[in-house]
Amino acid sequence: MRLVMSPYYQDVALSVYVKVKALAARPEGCQAKSVTIASYLGLSPASVERGMTQLRRPDPDGVVELFSERRTLPSGRGRSALRTVRPMSRTEAFVWVPVAAAEDLTSRQLRAYALIAYAQARGIALTQAELAAGLRHHSGKKAGEPLSVTAASAVVDEVEAARWVTVQRRAGTQGRNRYIAHDMAPEARPDGVGEGAGGVLEAAVEKEAQGAGCSQVGEGSGSPVGEGSLANEESPRTDSPDDARALVSPAIGDVPVGDAGPVENPADAAAPAEGCGGLALRAGGNNHPAPSKLERRSRGRGSARPSYNGPQLAMSSHIYAVLEPVHLLLERVHNDFIVRKIAREVGRQLRGGTAAERLHHRLTTRFAKVMLADIRDPGRWLLGVALPRWGCGHHDCEAGVLWTTGRKCEVCTEIVQEKYTARQRTQRIAQGLCPAHGTRPGPAGRCADCELDDAIRTPARVPVQHKLEGPPRGCCSDCGARIFMTGRALADGLCKPCREESSVMAVFTSAARAAPAQQETCSGRDGDARCDREALPTRSVCARHRVQELAGSA
């Protein structure tokens, strides 16, 4: 009753809990997939996943109702998850709910049925106002608020039309309605079950309720159904879409996706395959499927949605010509709804600017790359593999090739290269090699190529020339020594030793140049006569007399 009374859980969570707990009672446990559970309950797989997610999460009290043990390998293969429910304690309130009720009734109707069954078991005189307080909105602006009495009375009338509840109008104290919940729908009961007091009571109720409706709002019972709207701004799909509901609940095993009947004409859906072994976990040993929900509603109420009586399937000749390469597969699609989806997808792409020749070529190429025996579901293959455009965001890209030019798409090439680089990097890391070069790293954990790349990217730093304090410095123009450029160095650019040497050489040069002007001839004598030969530059005699002087001294 935590699931029934708590406003935290949505209506679909109760239906999923009932079916999972019933399947978990088998020796092998609940191993059914989400799609299989959805086919059992007549819900969409997304609604079942939403209910399981809410049951697996802790509620505001920290209680987790459903546990799922995944048994799928990382590659995606393996068995489905094994699901179990939380064991209940002795102090918790509970109510027995038939699994068939979860299959025949919608999620909101099942919640109303559980409230009525609990009140009947505890002997509580339930009013429509109290029943409305247990049913809540789960979407829209009124999310979390209880339903109105008018909307609650409509839900009760739907459950009564399904013959899971009998309503004795104004038969209780103070003119209240009296509700009787049945363990099995009267249509599914074997002969002899439900007779006696229950049968007499139902006969009396039918006699009393002929032409009678619910009472006005505020009188303690409810309001008439059909007068006014059931809610102010509530969407008819309060919990899950009804057009995805299965008609017959199989007994055991997974149901192929393509075995469901057409959505547009659910009343003509085929019966379940032979050998299923009867309905899943139904009481009474009944192996004959009960009428579907829509058939029950059509018999119980005149406002139920009628079956599809529109025009037959017709496909445009232009679209049929585009699908010419896959006519063989199109003939194997026996679901009119899937055929309509295929035709609409082709029309959408043609209206979006895709050329008919391009789409025809796409279907031809992809159908040629697959074996016909490998296509298990032609409809799903056409919608999921053949028709979608593969490539990047460029509209002209067709699986990595530009349709108008025939050249390779640069964007797709870069994407492929990036994926290849990522896979190669992962493989190298797994092998213990350098991710960038594929070489064995050294003791420091880096390979020689990585160190060389780092040296190329970050060259050695050049030392910064510090500016010296004091007067500016320069080089001597004679010896190249570093000197301060002050004083006389600014004029001649020489250091002190070079300056002194240059001054001495200048004096010597001037003296040598002045000597020949004073004494130009030799001072020696050749016998009695004076020598008229030219004297040496640094001597007063000529060369001959100089040799004689040296010879005499020797």
- 188 assigned to some structural domain: no
103: helix, strand or coil: helix
Statement: residue 260 has pLDDT above 50: no
Q: 382 falls in which pLDDT band (50, 70, 90)?
A: very high
* pLDDT band at residue 252 under the 50/70/90 scheme: very low
* Opening angle at CA 202, ends 198 and 203, nearest 5: 120
Tokens 């002007």 belong to residue: 517
CB 423 within 8 A of CB 416: no
Q: Residue 162, exposed/middle/buried by CB under 10 A (0-12, 13-18, 19+)?
A: buried
Burial class (CB in 10 A: 0-12, 13-18, 19+), 223: buried
What pLDDT is attached to residue 215? 39
Asked whether residue 19 is domain-assigned, the answer is yes
Within a domain: 286: no
Nearest to 55 by CA among 68, 40, 37: 68
Domain for residue 4, yes or no? yes
Residue with tokens 């013959």: 163
Q: What is the DSSP string of 71-96?
A: -B-TTS-BPPPEEEEPPPPTTS----
Torsion of CA 124, 130, 135, 139, to 10 degrees: -160
Q: How far is CA 259 from CA 40, 111, 287, 291, 379, in A?
A: 13, 29, 20, 18, 12
Angle at 105 between CA 100 and CA 109, to 5 degrees: 130
Residue pair 3/13 in contact (Cβ under 8 Å)? The answer is yes
Among the three residues 388, 414, 432, which one is the final residue of a domain in this structure?
388
Mean pLDDT of the region 210-225: 39
Q: Which of 524, 528, 529 is nearest to 543 (CA)?
A: 524
- Residue that finishes a domain, picked among 181, 200, 232: 181
Main-chain dihedrals φ then ψ at residue 355, nearest 5 degrees: -70, 150
What value does the mean pLDDT take over residues 148-152? 88
Alpha-carbon torsion, ordered 410, 413, 418, 424, to 10 deg: -150
The pLDDT of 414-424, averaged and rounded, is: 89
* Confidence class for position 248, pLDDT limits 50, 70, 90: very low
Biggest alpha carbon–alpha carbon distance for the chain: 190
Average pLDDT, the chain: 75
Mean pLDDT of 13-17: 91
pLDDT at residue 414 is higher than 60 = yes
DSSP per-residue string spanning 409-468: PHHHHHHHHHHHHHHHHHHHHHHTS-TTT-PPP-TTS--HHHHHHHHHHSPPPPPPPPPP
- 321 pLDDT exceeds 60? yes
Region 3-8: mean pLDDT is: 86
3-state class of 510 per DSSP? helix
Each residue's pLDDT tens digit, 476-510: 888 888 888 888 888 888 888 888 888 888 877 77
pLDDT, position 230:
35
Residue at 205 is within a domain: no
- For residue 408, count other CB atoms closer than 10 A to its CB: 13
Q: What's the pTM value of the predicted model, to 2 decimals?
A: 0.38
Q: Is the pLDDT of residue 253 over 70?
A: no
How many domains are there within the chain?
2
Q: Which of 297-311, 370-384, 517-531 has the lowest mean pLDDT?
A: 297-311
Q: Which amino acid is at 425?
A: R
Residue 233 inside a domain? The answer is: no
Cα–Cα distance measured from residue 4 to residue 9, given in angstroms and rounded to the nearest whole number: 8
| Mean pLDDT on 326-344 | 91
Q: Look up the domain containing 55 and give its range.
A: 1-181
Any domain includes 268: no
Inside any domain, residue 242: no
Answer yes or no: are the C-beta atoms of 81 and 35 closer than 8 Å: no
Domain boundary among 161, 181, 201: 181
C-alpha 344/C-alpha 436 separation (Å) is 48
Least confident among 262-271, 295-304, 381-390, 543-552: 262-271
Identify the pLDDT of residue 381.
93
Mean pLDDT, residues 329-346 taken together: 91
Position 553 pLDDT exceeds 50: yes
Express each pLDDT in 185-210 by its tens digit: 555 454 444 444 344 344 443 444 34
| CB-CB contact of 448 with 442 (8 Å) | yes
